[in-house]
Chain A
Amino acid sequence: MKHTIRKATRHVNQNEGLIFEKSSAGKAAWKLPPLDVPEVDAEKLLGSSARKDLGNMPEVSEIEIIRHFTRLSTWNYAIDLGMYPLGSCTMKYNPRVNEAVARVEGIANGHPYQPEKISQGALQILKTLSECLIEITGMDAITLQPAAGAHGEMTGLLMVRAYHHSKGKPRKKILIPDSAHGTNPATAAMVDYAVENLKSDSRGMVDIGALAAQMNEDVAALMLTNPNTLGVFEQDIHKIADILHAKGGLLYMDGANMNALVGKVRPGDFGVDLMHLNLHKTFSTPHGGGGPGSGPVAIKKALKPFLPTPVVVTKPDGTLGFDYDRPHSVGRVRAFYGNFGMFVRALAYIQANGPDGLRQTTEDAVLNANYIRKGLEGTYDLPYSTPTMHEVVFSDKLQAKKGVRTMDIAKRLIDYGFHPYTTAFPLIVPGALMIEPTESESIEEMDLFIDAMKSIADEVEEDPQTVLDAPHWTRVSRLDETAAARKPVLRWKPGASQ
């Protein structure tokens, strides 16, 4: 390999089998205290419901468990190791004070059904976070109950349905731009709406003419991501809102890209009727390898009666409580009150930033994305020249001439010590390279990234096979996904080969 890789160096990493392969009878990592009540005969108490044995559950010692999971952890890439430029995923730093405060005793161990008068601390956290998010979005009210972004979308569309129902005009369709994330149409289907695709124009924005033509009284709402998945702010946002509102439709905003807006502009001010936030994106709660997320939905006044139950209220005596008596509510979307632990982390993040920190964060996120855009323009094809905010989408058009596609470039990036960007999305850009650095990257890290991307582009010209076979330095090479799907092996079984 001719090109120098500056960010990463190969080093030894430990092999590790499945935990079941370490198990042997009599090993244990647990110890229970002596029982302080009379022993019971389980067979007698449970009768035929008594369980005989626990099959192939492992038996291992504590040190083996520590080594097992520590070794596994070293096989992962992580934000803590470096830039994670996944577009629309907002992989920012996850502050450790968030983790510390989420583990304070009364917060980690509070029971959801403990009486309200001894739950004032938790209720205060719910209330304060709600107030912050309402101010940040410029909306009037919020529910924190949805467990993730897609769950928030569903909650939002349920409220849209309830709203139109209350007007005596149930509607049938949701408009969704062709640049949208796959959860949007999947959600609309779950709430029994028909999905109608909305074309983007040559700038990568909603085609206003098409919207005006497609908008009618059967359309319940438009689900719009703003900035959209190209990182482009919908400059005609007021016209979009006006076209919808004129025909009684609602403007739903997917808040996936809120990291471009916090403290600079508020969706409530530009005509959005309801939107969800992703606390695990914009508000720094950790992705944890794919969750937990949290997807609060902020709304305008007109939608208030339809919020999921319960909602936090201040009672006449000044204490906080839950109001369950909401006859127009869409109901409950999750047991208890949502992913409370994520609320704690998001609030700690907001407190650590304050108004000035949040604004600076947004500015840095947009600055970083544009710095990368500038650095890679010319090396990679930029399908839309429209100014972008917090992320930038290139295409593999130039590299495809050598038979190298976006996924190959992404895999080669791994050898350079980076996590790949988002590939093959949005769908309106064939062979997309979608890059979102977030505010968490220094100039040094971004320069390394730009160098790596340029170096790969050179490799594509000089030695495309190196790129096509990447990654070369990982503990496993490209895995056979077709075989995995054709003959699924979804669990370990005794006697399975290693």
Chain B
Amino acid sequence: MRYLPKSPADREAMLKTMGLKSVDELFFPIPAEYRLNRDLKIPRQMAESEIVDYFRQRSRENAEGYTSFLGAGAYSHYRPVIIDSLISRGEFLTAYTPYQAEISQGTLQSIFEFQTMICELTGMEVANASMYDGSTAAAEAVMMAVRLTGRRSVIVARSLHPEYREVLATYATHQGMPLSIAGFDDTGRVDLKELEKSITTETACVLIQSPNFFGTIEDVAAIAAMAHKNGAMLVVSIAEAVSLGIVEPPRGADIIAMEAQSFGVPVGFGGPYCGVIATREKFVRQMPGRLVGQTADKQGRRGFVLTLATREQHIRREKATSNICTNQALVALMVNIFMTVYGKVGLKELAKQNLAKSAYAASQFAKHGEVLFSSAPRFNEFVVKTTEDSHAINNRLLGHKLIGGFPLKKFYPELGNAALWCCTELTTRSAIDAATGLLAENTGSEPEKEEAKEEVAR
């Protein structure tokens, strides 16, 4: 086996040192009746070339070569080459969590820079070293608000990513956290009148997303005022991090729960991604996840350490702020490098291209469908309502190697035949124009009608 650095003679020599006849003796503590006396029924040992072939084949069966208009929480942006060059360095890739600060300064300093840039972009005072992803970060942020307010009721915007809502529902089930939903109005944003009525002195927090699931930018200031008036907190989820280049961050929020995947992380069929929580300094001791802080060594030199560990499970056990143990360090490093590459000016220009592409696409698609929620500002996603079924349209696009918008019927039946479309800097005008043409082309006798049904499950 090519990963094992031992010859048969080495093994023999080791056994001899220990006075053993066979390695089996080391497994005697396992009761004999449970020992496995056969080969595992798994694929046989493969050569590296065979493994590469296997995954290339899977890749060909996985939308290789398609152009996609999908966003909905997973965004295709260009990934600068140096991200992979740098994260492939073994000293980053194969290091453990930086508990031993003296030989982990590389990871620690890079996390400190990550925390700083997340603060700059979100307008918050502190940010953690990362969370699993945006959905679990949102759930953890809500639990943090519950701890901070001592209240339990949570109001969740219906315009929050539906899968984030599902994750929160799972987390909330056994924590005695009643969830209620705040609907959206005809601008695609939280219905402020409805929200105002539902916030009470029992409300721990209001959780919204901005830009929200429909791509629309919420009136954060108004929602923050409503929440704060009742002593509740505002938690804002940001799923499309590139928006921060041109959209004012939700400064009225008490806690921001982000998904930073847009910053240089592969779409990768949904993970691994990079959640982050950012908040006010005064709330830091209730924040879950790892934190890196600056300090000095015995000679007074600047250095970095994991800090405020008394919040964490390995010290506090059942009294910890969360059971979180790992974070997404390597993915956070991708995010860090991406933010460094684009920086102060590049992020803005990048975001502006996203804005321009989606504005153009929306204006084109409007010729053949109704672009919903157009009275509110939006970033790089928009909802198009059509007379034809979204899946039927998408099947037509697939024939041209285009993946159409995300059909909304499953999560928002009230919107009818509507789909969520996304354009980023990678979406070309020709792809937009091709999709526009295919959106129009409804012959009425679709040969692919049967297949359309099969896709409804998505």
Contact = CB atoms under 8 A, between A and B. Distances in A.
A182 B36 CA distance: 31
A454 B329 CA distance: 34
Contacts of B339: 57
Given A46-B355, A287-B96, A477-B299, 8 more contacts: A55-B120, A72-B105, A86-B96, A107-B268, A118-B61, A356-B39, A389-B29, A491-B126
A166 interface: no
A289 B97 contact: yes
Contact of A363 (B23, B329, B349, B454): B23
Interface string A452-476: 0000000000000000000100111
A435 B345 CA distance: 48
Q: How large is the interface on A (under 10, 10 to 19, 20 to 34, 35 or more residues)?
A: 35 or more
A387 B25 CA distance: 10
B377 A476 contact: no
Contacts of B333: 288-289
A135 B40 contact: yes
B365 interface: no
A354 B127 CA distance: 43
Contacts of B349: 30, 32
B192 interface: no
Of A185, A192, A289, most B-chain CB atoms within 10 Å: A289
Contacts of B115: 490-491
7 contacts: A46-B355, A54-B121, A74-B91, A79-B94, A118-B62, A183-B314, A292-B328
A93 to B, nearest CB: 5
B248 interface: yes
A358 B39 CA distance: 10
A20 to B, nearest CB: 7
A290 interface: yes
A485 B315 CA distance: 14
A140 B205 CA distance: 40
B70 interface: yes
Contact of A410 (B34, B59, B96, B100): B100
Q: How large is the interface on B (under 10, 10 to 19, 20 to 34, 35 or more residues)?
A: 35 or more
Interface string A167-194: 0000000000000011101111111100
Nearest to B90: A80
Of B11, B61, B299, most A-chain CB atoms within 10 Å: B61
B3 A479 contact: no
Contacts of B82: 29, 62, 65-66
B393 interface: no
Contact of B4 (A55, A187, A386, A439): A439
Given A118-B66, A488-B293, A286 B117 contact: no
A321 to B, nearest CB: 7
Interface in B266-296: 266-272, 284, 290-296
Interface stretch (B145-153, B225-233, B302-310, B438-446): B302-310
A65 B452 CA distance: 48
Of A124, A411, A443, most B-chain CB atoms within 10 Å: A443
A265 interface: yes
B26 A367 contact: yes
B228 to A, nearest CB: 19
A308 B132 CA distance: 17
Contact of B163 (A56, A132, A266, A336): A336
Contacts of A439: 3-4
Given A54-B121, A73-B92, A355-B44, A334 B136 contact: yes
Nearest to A119: B62
B344 A114 contact: no
B203 interface: no
A122 B176 CA distance: 37
B95 interface: yes
A147 B271 contact: yes
A395 to B, nearest CB: 19
Contacts, number: 692
Contact of B326 (A38, A115, A149): A149
Contacts of A348: 51, 55
Given A110-B63, A265-B34, A324-B457, A331 B217 contact: no
B192 to A, nearest CB: 16
A186 B323 CA distance: 5
Leading 8 A-B pairs by shortest Cβ distance: A288-B330, A336-B270, A354-B45, A80-B90, A106-B59, A121-B62, A121-B61, A112-B270
Interface string B161-198: 10110110111011110000000000000000000000
B170 A28 contact: no
B327 A182 contact: no
Contacts of A481: 101, 295, 305, 307
Contacts of B314: 181-183, 425
B1 A360 contact: yes
A432 to B, nearest CB: 13
A286 B377 contact: no
A414 B3 contact: no
Given A42-B246, A121-B61, A290 B96 contact: yes
Given A332-B163, A352-B45, A32 B91 contact: no
A107 to B, nearest CB: 5
A50 interface: yes
A104 interface: yes
Of A32, A265, A290, most B-chain CB atoms within 10 Å: A290
B455 interface: yes
Interface string A406-427: 0000110010000110000100
A277 interface: no
Interface string A101-142: 111111111111111111111101100100110011000000
B400 interface: no
B313 interface: yes
B106 A76 contact: yes
Contacts of A474: 102-103
B63 A119 contact: yes
A282 interface: no
A394 interface: no
Given A237-B31, A355-B42, A490-B292, A30 B341 contact: yes
Interface in B64-83: 64-66, 68, 70, 72-74, 76, 80, 82
Of A70, A353, A478, A481, most B-chain CB atoms within 10 Å: A353
Interface string B129-157: 11011111000000000000000000000
Given A265-B34, A331-B170, A74 B342 contact: no
A322 to B, nearest CB: 7
Interface in A260-303: 262-266, 269-270, 280, 286-294
Interface string A79-112: 1110010100101011101011111111111111
Given A263-B36, A288-B92, A336-B270, A97 B48 contact: yes
B434 interface: no
B21 interface: no
A342 interface: yes
A262 B357 CA distance: 51
A287 B63 CA distance: 29
A383 interface: no
Interface stretch (A150-158, A242-250, A396-404): A150-158
B101 to A, nearest CB: 5
Contacts of B107: 72, 76, 289-290
Contacts of B247: 46, 49-51
Nearest to A188: B318
Contacts of A116: 454-455, 457-458
Interface in B4-22: 4-6, 10-11, 13-15, 17-18
Interface in A354-412: 354-361, 363-364, 366-367, 370-371, 374, 386-387, 389, 410-411
